[in-house]
Structure 1
C-alpha cells in the first residue's frame, strides 16, 4: 500500500531547482507578470486630461501643417530617454520564448510533463496577451487619429 504514494522530498533528494521545467514555469510566470505590469504601469504616471492630450495632438498637427505650407524648416527632435514600458515590451515576450524553450528541453529530457506544460502555457499566454494588447492600442490610436482628421476643419479655423 505504501508503494502507491509518492515519496516526500527528503534532505538527500535532488533539488527541484535543477529541473528545466521548473525554470520554464518561473520564466513563464515572470513573463506574464511583466505583461500585466506593462499594461498597468502607464496608469500610475501623472497625465494631463484626455481633452488636453487631444488638444496637444491637434495643435501639433496644426503647427506642422502650417510649417509645411509656409516652407519653414522642421524643428529639431529632442532625444528622450525610453520609459520603462518600452523595456518591458521587449523583455516580456523574450522571457515567454525562453519559457517555451526551457519547456521543450524539459520535455526532451523526460522530466515531469506538468512543468513543461505549465511553462509552455504561461510563456505562450504572455506572448499572445501582449500581442493582443498592442493590437488593441493600435486600433485605439487609429480611431483617435481618424477622429482628429475628421475634425481637421475645426483645427484650422481661426
Structure 2
C-alpha cells in the first residue's frame, strides 16, 4: 500500500481568482458606467472653479484669510472605489497565500494578476483624470490672465 498524499486543493488560489475577477469587473463597471452619484455639468464645475480662483486671489490681495476647508460627503463612487481596492488587495493576498501553501501555480498567479490588474486599471484611470484636470485648471488660469495679469507676475507675457 502506497502512502501518496492526495493533491492539495487550490482553495486560496481559486478564491483569489474569483475575488480578483469580481474586483476587475467592478473596476470596469465603475469606469465605463460611472459616476453613479449625481454631479453638476462640466461647465458649471469649471465656472465655479474659475469663480473660486478669482475670489481666492482677491482675498489674498486684500489680506483676508482664506475660508476653512470643508470635507466633501462620501458618495457611492467613493465606496465603490474603496471596494475595488479592498477586493484587489484580498485577491493578491489570497494569491500569495496560495503560493505559500504551494497550491496550483496557475490559480495563484491568476489571483495575483487579476487583483493587480484591477488596482492598476483604477490607478491608470485616476492618473489620466488628474492630467485632464490639470489641463483644464491651466486653461482656466490662462483665460483669467487679462483680469489678473499683475497677480501672475507676467507669467503669460510673450
Structure 1 residues 101 and 78: CA distance shift in structure 2, 3 A = closer
Deviation per CA, 1:64-97: give whole Å up to 9, x if none: 1111111223224334322232333333233222
Deviation per CA, 1:71-129: give whole Å up to 9, x if none: 22322433432223233333323322221221122233333333212212211111111
Stretches of structure 2 that go unaligned for 5 or more consecutive residues are: 1-8, 150-158
Q: 1:26: which partner in 2?
A: 18
Matches for 1:46-57 after TM superposition, within 5 Å: 46-57=38-49
Q: 1:4: which partner in 2?
A: none
Q: 2:131: which partner in 1?
A: 139
The structure with the greater share of residues assigned to helix is 1
Task: Tell me, in whole angstroms, the C-alpha distance in 2 between the residues paired with 1:24 and 1:82.
Answer: 28
Higher mean alpha-carbon deviation, 144-153 vs 113-122, is at 113-122
Q: 1:123: which partner in 2?
A: 115
Q: Are the equivalent residues in 1 in contact too, given 2:37–2:76 (CA < 8 A)?
A: no
Matched, 1:60 2:43: no
User: Quick one: which of 51, 64, 67 aligns to 1:72?
Assistant: 64
Q: Shift in Å at residue 58 of structure 1?
A: 0.3
Matches for 1:6-17 after TM superposition, within 5 Å: none
Matches for 1:79-158 after TM superposition, within 5 Å: 79-154=71-146, 156=148
TM-score (norm 1): 0.74
The CA RMSD over aligned residues, in Å, is: 2.5
Task: Tell me, in whole angstroms, the C-alpha distance in 2 between the residues paired with 1:141 and 1:32.
Answer: 25
